Amino acid sequence: MSAVEKRRALMNRLKDIWGGQDDMNRVLFLIAVAVFVWSLIEGHGMYGALMAGVVLFLMVSRHGQRLKRFSRLYGTLYFPMPDGEIVPRTFEQVKTEYLHGSQGRYAGRAVELRFPWWYLNSAGEIDTGFGLTVRLAGSAELLDEAKRLRRGDCVRLTGTLVAESKNYFCVGEVETLERISEKDLYPLKKK
């Protein structure tokens, strides 16, 4: 890798980290930078570094809590069965079973997700906000649709669980990506 490619990869990574933060974490980061700069100007750089470190720890903590909250609210994977029944499983259940030897049970299975739009990273992957990655590789039409979505839009997508490794899976081979209303976020609520 050349130096230019390394810099570009680093900038994309930093852009992805910034884009994946909620507004409060962005404000906390800007406050940390401002406190650090102000402390340097005043000649108390160590206090500024300490304060910036505390604020950055708050950011990491908030990010972890947001992941847990989103997982509880929207982290349901809906698996369609051959008889037309939809079986809901939480992302945490599927992840735990997958990590403990059920890769064959889930790899290649059709799945439906419904969640508020969170973020599309520089590699064209959807961050669901609760830890699951959706890859849109190979479909320029779906990627264009994803670029038009804004944070908070409710979306429904169907795809296939793809085994990335023994310890990681994602949703790939996405067939549909569409906006839905907020009342359609929970398909089994009507039943």
Query: Average pLDDT of the chain?
Result: 82
pLDDT band at 27 (very low <50, low <70, confident <90, very high): confident
Q: What's the rounded mean pLDDT across residues 90-118? A: 83
Per-residue pLDDT at 191 exceeds 60: no
Percent of the chain whose predicted confidence (pLDDT) is above 70: 98
Q: Give residue 89's pLDDT.
A: 87
Write out the chain in H/E/C secondary structure: CCHHHHHHHHHHHHHHHHHCCCHHHHHHHHHHHHHHHHHHHHCCHHHHHHHHHHHHHHHHHHHHHHHHHHHHHHCEEEEECCCCCEEEEEHHHHHHHHHCCCHHHHCCCEEEEEEECCEECCCCEEECCCCCEEECCCCHHHHHHHHHCCCCCEEEEEEEEEEEECCEEEEEEEEEEEECCHHHCCHHHCC
Q: Over the stretch 108-143, which tens digit does the pLDDT of each residue have?
A: 889 999 988 878 887 778 888 888 888 887 778 888
pLDDT at 189: 64
